[in-house]
Amino acid sequence: MSDRLPRPLYVKVNPSDNVAIIVNEGGLPAGAQFESGLVLTEAVPEAHKVALIDIPQGSPVIRYGVTIGCAERPIAKGSWVHEELITHPLAPDLDNLPLATTVPPAQPPLEGFTFQGYLNEDGSVGTKNILGITTTVQCVAATVDFAVKRIKAELLPSYPNVDDVIAITHNYGCGIAIGAPGAEIPIRTLRNLSLNPNLGGAPLVVSLGCEKLQPGQLLPVSTLPILSREPYLVRLQDEQHRSFGDMVAAIMEMAEKRLAQLNARKRTTRPASDLVVGLQCGGSDAFSGVTANPAVGYAADLLVRAGATVMFSEVTEVRDAIDLLTARAADPTVARDLIREMAWYDDYLGRGSVDRSANPSPGNKRGGLANIVEKAMGSIAKAGTSPITAVYGPGEQVKTKGLIFAATPASDFICGTLQLAAAMNMHVFTTGRGTPYGLAMVPVIKVASRTSLAQRWSDLIDIDAGTIASGHETIEEVGKKIFDMILEVASGNKQTWADHWGLHNEFALFNPSPVT
Amino acid sequence: MSDRLPRPLYVKVNPSDNVAIIVNEGGLPAGAQFESGLVLTEAVPEAHKVALIDIPQGSPVIRYGVTIGCAERPIAKGSWVHEELITHPLAPDLDNLPLATTVPPAQPPLEGFTFQGYLNEDGSVGTKNILGITTTVQCVAATVDFAVKRIKAELLPSYPNVDDVIAITHNYGCGIAIGAPGAEIPIRTLRNLSLNPNLGGAPLVVSLGCEKLQPGQLLPVSTLPILSREPYLVRLQDEQHRSFGDMVAAIMEMAEKRLAQLNARKRTTRPASDLVVGLQCGGSDAFSGVTANPAVGYAADLLVRAGATVMFSEVTEVRDAIDLLTARAADPTVARDLIREMAWYDDYLGRGSVDRSANPSPGNKRGGLANIVEKAMGSIAKAGTSPITAVYGPGEQVKTKGLIFAATPASDFICGTLQLAAAMNMHVFTTGRGTPYGLAMVPVIKVASRTSLAQRWSDLIDIDAGTIASGHETIEEVGKKIFDMILEVASGNKQTWADHWGLHNEFALFNPSPVT
């Protein structure tokens, strides 16, 4: 039994639930008795489920007020409700979903919340001031990395107002079928990554020359007038580069011009409505859905009330709760857009002969998540209670305020990369098992679902939401803390642990079509 | 007209060809007259094709002695035979291929060629002495990169006999369907990358803890007895790591033990038969098939005669010449293995609604390659004239001597990564358009198909094969130069340009199944 929580403690989320989650660190032994009088008939690990009543074979196992599966055999009150005891229900049928049937009423607006940001010409606002160098093709990656190392060492120190230099390198651009169904996804992802608000709206481009993805397709000048004024492009195969040294010099020269422009920028006071906050979870456990994710959901509601854009994602993690989301859509068109994205992903998985049940990891299961339904219910808690106002396909640039759904895989870095392409300028990431996630382009605030993790990883986790399970803080208190930290970090007043260490994972493109 | 080549010059590869390739830098104008008497009726760019005779509509256009397509309309003698004038033929039907019908006779063995290499316990031989840190999952990548930076700065200088520290990071391990058809490809690729001869045969492993791809599945101790003696594994979520600093310290401690072992190793004289040479081309032009690739083919034949393993790859680039390869297979089983890999790839492309015609890039076409048939004929020239003795699936470890086919996509870095997994310890890369390709794990010798590229990129290209087109050297002379350079570089006596600059592209995994 835990030292810090002397009393056996469980969390029941919804009054109709017939299972609850063990809070005590290290779990509880057989015989442990709760205040309610419930006695454990066997040992139950931390974050795993205990049956609150006898559940007959075939009867629903209920958590979050919804059926997460049915009992494979009779489950006695006080026993451990583990993965094997629960049947895997079918995903909701996409043909019979409620469309905008329970649209939540608008919450009162929140006025007066601001942050200090960098206003771009296109109206977007940066939370960092970064020089971005994008690339059309994987072949130039090592050359650009070489140049970026020199830019950071030789040029960046002279431009102290610029936060970082980032090369947008990737495995796309050639050796791919550029006309394949789905090819627009990686292409628009790279385009919109290059236009992320934190890069100031005008990226530099390095091309090889002979690649399939040509600069004009990556960033069409017609749609991006700023590029016609500042056509910063180096093409390595161009005749004027008569050595590798020439190529590197050309990239550095172009970089220095841009560094001078970026260095002259100043933060100004911006309304909280200029924030585009991406939400994600990774390494989830059964606490994620009762502590970290609901607290983030509360922060999401505050952000929406303040006029900001809040983005949630991860198709395979919401697929099993899609009926709740289509009902919450602001109107039937938005609901149908949600269904379209689910259907696209069902088809994508089907072509590869897998389905959404591939989602939960061994760690999720050890963490008490029996299946994708339970994981989904926890996952959508991040999205708070606002109506869903718009849906975007993978890699599309988000232009809508309010709570939006940006369709992405759940794979952490692919999701993060797509949210960056969607114009995210702040990121909140919840974890139960623990993952040292980080992105270079925007600050990532990491929220732990358990106090034990937050304490053990005190130099990686920014906010401890485990205090909700132990009763030391409420969901609202932790949610407000997350909201406040978003504004502080967005203003550059506070640094996340990921930024402190420079823990910055590479971009991971979502390319649903074959390589050639 | 060119300054360096005063006379109009073309290259005809096979006596039956009805087209030839313009050699002169910058191409030739209308009216240019060749020694044969042929006069150009219009300007033809460098490396593009000229019709040697009148080709009636519907008649075959013949290069390399094979039909690369038929004339879309009548093509007059002396005119430019560009892409639009040639129909796209169907790929050879996989059901009616010749099986080992024209197996080339064995060439006389070459004795006495050696290099200085690092002998590993498993019998493989390294051409470099590298500390490799492999990872089970993308989540640990930034942490491992952080640790590797410190290892290189703080530890490596004390171990001067160790060449480098490489983190095998990737986008796999979680957020994927680990039981999906095709999942064995990225998993065995990561396993076999970790066992590349240049890493000394015993990799270190960093795991998160909750990921789908667990260390025991990545590197099963049962199949790798060395791992049971040296179980170097750090799992970030383990309870004993009570901070990020602890995690980094644990990785560094494990690294230092291994650095001490690696530092004690010495190069010894090894027969050339210990070489596993991977061949690849990227950014090809119409010269690739007449200069660089045949020269590499000659070197490949020398290597095979010396008992080495020579590996060629790139399914979509050999698909259209597969009838020539199945005929050349050492026996019908090998031929059927070739067909199996072609069929797998046809199906993989078909699931994504694309076909092999997606392969040639705009640069290939500007470089004079009309279509995938012409590209394929040039590509297989790299493989020389030996019988094909074995076929391996993507990411499998090669254990056979002689000329083998390792099935991979043509995408340069995916192919390179798979060839590293196949146990490659030397790499030869030909290019016509020019690409600054490099890999950290093995030396990459870059061969240019044109003298103009070799001169312009004199600090990137290791060998100029353009001298073959201009008549200054023979295929055999350049081929022998490549063979000699392989032995010199493998011995550590000579450095490639890619290694000089540290131009080292990231690993690019081939994952044919969906992300989740």
Q: What pLDDT does B247 receive?
A: 97
Looking at the structure, do residues B196 and B70 belong to the same domain, yes or no? no
| pLDDT band with cut points at 50, 70 and 90 for residue A3 | very low
Alpha carbon distance A205, B449 (integer Å): 27
Domain count, chain B: 3
| pLDDT band with cut points at 50, 70 and 90 for residue A286 | confident
Question: How close does chain A come to B105, measured CA to CA in Å?
Answer: 33
Question: Which positions in chain B touch A282 (Cβ < 8 Å)?
Answer: 139
Does residue A441 have a pLDDT over 60? Answer: yes
Contact state of B349 with A211 under an 8 Å Cβ cutoff: no
**Residues in contact with A40: Cβ distance below 8 Å, sequence separation at least 6, in sequence order:** A8, A28, A29, A30, A31, A32, A33, A50, A78, A79
Q: Is residue B181 part of a domain?
A: yes
Does residue A251 have a pLDDT over 70? Answer: yes
| pLDDT band with cut points at 50, 70 and 90 for residue B398 | very high
User: Closest residue of A to B212, CA-based?
Assistant: A361
> Which of A169, A239, A358 has its CB closest to that of B177?
A358
Q: What pLDDT does B225 receive?
A: 59
Alpha carbon distance A310, A14 (integer Å): 25
At A52-98, the pLDDT tens digits run: 999 999 999 999 888 899 999 999 999 999 989 998 778 899 999 99
Q: What is the distance, to the nearest Å, from the Cα of residue A28 to the centroid of all Cα atoms in its chain?
A: 33
Does residue B254 have a pLDDT over 80? Answer: yes
At B190-245, the pLDDT tens digits run: 999 999 999 997 789 999 999 999 998 998 876 665 556 556 899 999 999 999 99
Helix (H, G, I), strand (E, B) or coil at B380: helix
| pLDDT band with cut points at 50, 70 and 90 for residue B374 | confident
Give the closest residue to A133 by CA, choosing from A194, A63, A87: A194
Looking at the structure, do residues B379 and B398 belong to the same domain, yes or no? yes
Contact state of A515 with B510 under an 8 Å Cβ cutoff: yes
Give the closest residue to B42 by CA, choosing from B76, B71, B86, B83: B76
Question: How close does chain B come to A36, measured CA to CA in Å?
Answer: 32
User: Closest residue of B to A505, CA-based?
Assistant: B142
Contact state of B146 with A515 under an 8 Å Cβ cutoff: no
Q: Is residue A510 part of a domain?
A: no
Q: What pLDDT does B62 receive?
A: 94
Looking at the structure, do residues A63 and A175 belong to the same domain, yes or no? no
Q: What are phi and psi of A270, to 5 degrees?
A: -125, 145
Q: Percent of chain A scored above 70 by pLDDT?
A: 96
Average pLDDT, chain B: 93
CA distances from B513 to A280, A349, A514, B25, B185 (A): 23, 8, 10, 44, 9
Does residue B187 have a pLDDT over 90? Answer: yes
Q: Is residue B94 part of a domain?
A: no
Give the closest residue to A249 by CA, choosing from A393, A119, A150: A150
Rounded to the nearest 10 degrees, the angle between the axes of helix B244-263 and helix B141-150 is: 60
Give the closest residue to A177 by CA, choosing from B407, B349, B514, B313: B349
Alpha carbon distance A273, A392 (integer Å): 19
- In the block, tokens 């027969």 appear at B271
Enclosing domain of residue B66: 1-87
Q: Encoding tokens for residue B332?
A: 């019908």
Q: What pLDDT does B223 receive?
A: 66
> How many Cα atoms sit within 13 Å of B464 on the Cβ side?
17
Q: What pLDDT does B90 receive?
A: 81
Looking at the structure, do residues B276 and B403 belong to the same domain, yes or no? yes
At B323-343, the pLDDT tens digits run: 999 999 999 999 999 999 999
Does residue A1 have a pLDDT over 60? Answer: no
At B437-480, the pLDDT tens digits run: 999 999 999 999 999 999 999 999 999 999 999 899 999 999 99
Give the closest residue to B361 by CA, choosing from A176, A139, A191: A176
Q: What is the DSSP letter of A122?
A: T
Taking CB atoms and an 8 Å cut-off, how many pairs form between chains A and B?
251
Alpha carbon distance A144, B503 (integer Å): 10
Domain boundary among B70, B87, B104: B87
Q: What pLDDT does A365 receive?
A: 78
Does residue A456 have a pLDDT over 50? Answer: yes
Least trusted range by pLDDT, from A269-278, B69-78, B322-331, B346-355: B346-355
Average pLDDT, integer, range B389-407: 98
- In the block, tokens 């500007």 appear at B366
Q: Is residue B28 part of a domain?
A: yes
Looking at the structure, do residues A208 and A290 belong to the same domain, yes or no? no
Q: Is residue A506 part of a domain?
A: no
Question: How close does chain A come to B272, measured CA to CA in Å?
Answer: 30
Q: What angle do CA B328, B333, B337 make, to 5 degrees?
A: 85
Q: Encoding tokens for residue B329?
A: 């297979």
Domain boundary among A70, A87, A104: A87
Average pLDDT, integer, range A399-413: 97
Question: Which positions in chain A touch B516 (Cβ < 8 Å)?
Answer: 316, 349, 354, 356, 358-359, 409-411
Average pLDDT, integer, range A358-369: 76
Looking at the structure, do residues B383 and B315 belong to the same domain, yes or no? yes
Looking at the structure, do residues B133 and B165 belong to the same domain, yes or no? yes
Average pLDDT, integer, range B129-139: 96
Q: Is residue B433 part of a domain?
A: no
Q: Is residue A138 part of a domain?
A: yes
Average pLDDT, chain A: 93
Give the CATH number for residue A229: 3.40.50
Give the closest residue to B82 by CA, choosing from B58, B59, B51: B51
Looking at the structure, do residues B449 and B303 belong to the same domain, yes or no? yes
CB B2 within 8 A of CB B44: no
Contact state of B459 with A412 under an 8 Å Cβ cutoff: no
Looking at the structure, do residues B189 and B280 belong to the same domain, yes or no? no
Looking at the structure, do residues B244 and B289 belong to the same domain, yes or no? no
Helix (H, G, I), strand (E, B) or coil at B401: coil
Question: What is the enclosing helix (H) or strand (E) of A209?
Answer: none
Looking at the structure, do residues B82 and B159 belong to the same domain, yes or no? no
> Which of B348, B414, B516 has its CB closest to that of A358?
B516
Does residue B491 have a pLDDT over 80? Answer: yes
User: Closest residue of A to B144, CA-based?
Assistant: A503
Looking at the structure, do residues A341 and A421 belong to the same domain, yes or no? yes
Q: Is residue A516 part of a domain?
A: no
More confident residue, A207 or A89: A207
